[in-house]
Amino acid sequence: MVMNCWEFLKCGREPGGSKVGELGVCPAATATRLDACNQGKNGGRLCWLIHATLCGNQVQGDLYSKLGNCSKCEFFKKVHQEEGANFDFGMKYADT
């Protein structure tokens, strides 16, 4: 079974998560137009593409400002490895 970013990173920002009251719901968890991309729920396996995700305990900017960090992220690497030739980087959704 594949994991979404909030499950892997345990950030607590998914709907009903432990840190929603403090940090709000992560936009990756609610990006319904990205549902099923890389086999994830909503934007859960394209989090690098989504503005205002929480990484390194800081809210991040857009794809272009966070791409360097995301490409080093263990979750990004995991998704890439699991998806193999079917990996969808998501550039067609870059305006998300």
Which residues are paired to 55 by β-bridges? 58
Residue pLDDT, tens place only, 28-39: 999 999 999 999
Residue pLDDT, tens place only, 42-94: 999 999 999 888 887 778 888 888 888 888 999 999 999 999 999 999 888 77
Asked if pLDDT for residue 96 goes beyond 50, the answer is no
pLDDT of residue 10: 94
- Per-residue three-class SS string for 40-95: CCCCCCCHHHCCCCEECCEECCCHHHHHHHHCCCHHHHHHHHHHHHHCCCCHHHCC
Asked if pLDDT for residue 21 goes beyond 70, the answer is yes
Task: For residues 5 and 88, give the distance between their C-alpha atoms in angstroms, rounded to a whole number.
Answer: 15
